[in-house]
Amino acid sequence: MRVLGIETSCDETGVALFDTERGLVADALYSQIAMHADYGGVVPELASRDHTRKLLPLIEDVLNDAGMTRAELDGIAYTAGPGLVGALMVGASTAHGLARALNIPVLGVHHMEGHLLAPMLEDEPPAFPFVALLVSGGHTQLVEVRGLGDYELLGESVDDAAGEAFDKAAKMLGLEYPGGPNVARLAEQGDPTRFRFPRPMTDRPGLDFSFSGLKTHMLTAVRSLREAGQLDDQARADVARAFEEAVVDTLVIKCRRALDATGLKRLVVAGGVSANTRLRERLAVETGKRGAKAFYPRGRFCTDNGAMIAYVGAQRLVAGERDDSAMRAVPRWPLDQLAPAGSASA
């Protein structure tokens, strides 16, 4: 089955073609980062307009790269949520319009299920069951994954997501959007012994996260240095290093607890923050101690992309699922509300 995947949940327009026999055939991505950087974050209306401009040309690019025409498609998948409602509507309306014109099935896909299963696109995909850490600008969650659509939420952030905390830390340090990669680069020059920030919610049982207190600690440290006239380049790097170490330690501790609690030996880490080098290094050590293994999507599939949507859509379309005539755009959509593949077929 040849499925076109469309991703327009936030600030990246992604399109891909997945063939259930050949795997990923072609993909393309357009990032709006440069446009939103002037505002220090995503502007929803601008994001929607840019998706409208870029989506159809990207679809044609992907089809051309695959050497296919629209008539050869067997199905279309699109991100139905969670995300910015206007941006979601661009993808949903395009997908439904194309599917109706071609008389093929169409299906709305959960954005975070796409991230969760992105490592399935790699040469050595993880087998079910596994623990997944979904860590991005909008989500920080630990999930037990027993099969496609069979998910149990183990823990999540009660306030800021880890990626959101990175973005706010970057603003405090005068770094450009997006913050995560810039904080990580600055942290490479930092002294890990100069400052120590708290590891929130690690001094109590449980698998939930909280990063708002860490953000406040960061703000206090930056203000104190500035007021003392000591916020030079080295101090900024030292603070960035302390912040990154605190976030990474917190994520690693919670992953360790999740693996111990479930007894599982496979850990999937996905979402934008999964590209963080220090996080990967630390998780390699922790999983190694337990005879476990960590799995990641390739670099360009850590952030939002069409390939993950095409993959998940293909699996669920094969299982008999499809949308009815109504388009779906669900800004808030808990992952554990999903049904196992095929059980919600129309």
- Determine whether the annotation assigns residue 325 to a binding site: no
Cβ–Cβ < 8 Å for 48, 91: no
pLDDT of 333 > 60? The answer is yes
Residue 152, pLDDT score: 96
- Determine whether the annotation assigns residue 306 to a binding site: no
Please, how many CA atoms are within 13 Å of residue 83, restricted to the half-sphere of its CB? 32
- Determine whether the annotation assigns residue 135 to a binding site: yes
φ/ψ of 64, rounded to 5, equals -65, -45
- Determine whether the annotation assigns residue 304 to a binding site: yes
**What average pLDDT score do residues 92-105 get?**
98
- Determine whether the annotation assigns residue 139 to a binding site: no
- Determine whether the annotation assigns residue 320 to a binding site: no
How many whole angstroms separate alpha carbon 5 and alpha carbon 8?
A: 10
pLDDT of 346 > 70? The answer is no
pLDDT of 344 > 70? The answer is no
Residue 239, pLDDT score: 98
pLDDT of 14 > 80? The answer is yes
Same fold, 2-117+301-337 and 127-296: yes
Task: Report CA torsion sign: 258, 259, 260, 264.
Answer: positive
pLDDT of 345 > 90? The answer is no
The structural domains of the chain, with segments of one domain joined by +, span: 2-117+301-337, 127-296
- Determine whether the annotation assigns residue 36 to a binding site: no
pTM for the structure as a whole: 0.94
Of the two residues 137 and 53, the one the predictor is more confident about is 53
Residue 318 burial (CB count, 10 A): 15
- Determine whether the annotation assigns residue 136 to a binding site: yes
230-239 per-position pLDDT tens digit = 999 999 999 9
Task: With residue 233 as reference, give the H or E element that holds it.
Answer: helix 233-262
User: Which of 136, 131, 163 has the alpha carbon at shortest distance from 255?
Assistant: 131
Where residue 38 falls among pLDDT bands split at 50, 70, 90?
confident
CATH superfamily label, 2-117+301-337:
ATPase, nucleotide binding domain (3.30.420.40)
- Determine whether the annotation assigns residue 180 to a binding site: yes
Rg of the chain taking only CA atoms, in angstroms: 20
pLDDT mean across residues, the chain: 95
How many whole angstroms separate alpha carbon 263 and alpha carbon 286?
A: 14
Q: How far from 102 is each of 95, 161, 286, 314, CA to CA, in Å? A: 11, 40, 49, 17
How many whole angstroms separate alpha carbon 112 and alpha carbon 266?
A: 19
**What average pLDDT score do residues 40-47 get?**
91
Q: Of the CATH numbers 3.40.50.970, 3.40.50.300, 3.30.420.40, 3.40.50.980, which one belongs to the domain with range 127-296?
A: 3.30.420.40
Cβ–Cβ < 8 Å for 324, 41: no
Residue 235, pLDDT score: 98
3: which strand partners?
Answer: 18, 75
297-323 per-position pLDDT tens digit = 999 999 999 999 999 999 999 999 999
- Determine whether the annotation assigns residue 138 to a binding site: yes
- Determine whether the annotation assigns residue 46 to a binding site: no
How many whole angstroms separate alpha carbon 53 and alpha carbon 29?
A: 13
In the chain, which ranges are E strands? 2-7, 12-19, 23-31, 75-81, 106-110, 130-135, 140-147, 150-156, 266-270, 293-295
pLDDT of 342 > 80? The answer is no
